[in-house]
Amino acid sequence: MLELLQRIFGRESTGGQSKDVAKERLRMVLIHDRASVTPEVWEALKVDLIRVITQYLDIDERAMEVDLQNEKDAYALVASIPVLRVKRNLGALPGGEAAKG
């Protein structure tokens, strides 16, 4: 049933909207372009991530990897961060807003 409806209203009528395809492809390609031409921004993002995470965990900053990965129709920010140690008494830490309130 759904398939039938899709065939009637969906694919046939929107199949002609190639501009939507163009716009979506552009959006995707620009995420990658913009991310790959600004290493400074990546560095800044890493520094900020480290600042936040180290309030909770001891991590191996040198082995940390942050990357954009293309998965089918979306980009994901994928971070690989080796954890050395979890801090004791997490609830009392400065960033624990959620835990307090």
Partner 1 sequence: MGEVCVITSGKGGVGKTTTTANLGASLAALGKSVVLIDADIGLRNLDVVMGLENRIVYHLVDVVEGYCRLAQALIKDKRFENLCLLPAAQTKDKTAVSPEQMRGLCKELAQDFDFVLVDSPAGIEQGFRNAISGANQAIIVATPEVSSVRDADRIIGLLEAEDMRPPRLIVNRLKPAMVKRGDMMDIDDILDILAVELLGVVPDDDSIVVSTNRGEPAVLSASSRAGQAYRDIARRVLGEEVAFMDLDARPGIFGRLRRLFAAGDR
Q: Quick one: 27 or 51, whose CB is closer to partner 1?
A: 27
| Closest C-alpha among 63, 41, 59, 40 to residue 50 | 59
Q: Quick one: 18 or 89, whose CB is closer to partner 1?
A: 18
Is there binding between residue 70 and partner 1 (CB under 8 A)? no
Interface size with partner 1, residues (CB under 8 A): 16
With beta carbons less than 8 A apart as the criterion, state whether 43 and 15 touch: no
State which of residues 7, 11, 27, 87 lies at the interface with partner 1 (CB under 8 A): 27
Q: How far apart are CA 35 and CA 17, in angstroms?
A: 28
Show the 3-state SS of 23-83.
Answer: HHHHHHHHHHHHHHCCHHHHHHHHHHHHHHHCCCEEECHHHCEEEEEEECCEEEEEEECCE
State which of residues 11, 23, 51, 87 lies at the interface with partner 1 (CB under 8 A): 23
Is there binding between residue 41 and partner 1 (CB under 8 A)? no
Is there binding between residue 29 and partner 1 (CB under 8 A)? yes
Q: Quick one: 5 or 37, whose CB is closer to partner 1?
A: 37
Q: Which residues bind partner 1 (CB under 8 A)?
A: 16-20, 22-23, 25-27, 29-30, 33-34, 37-38
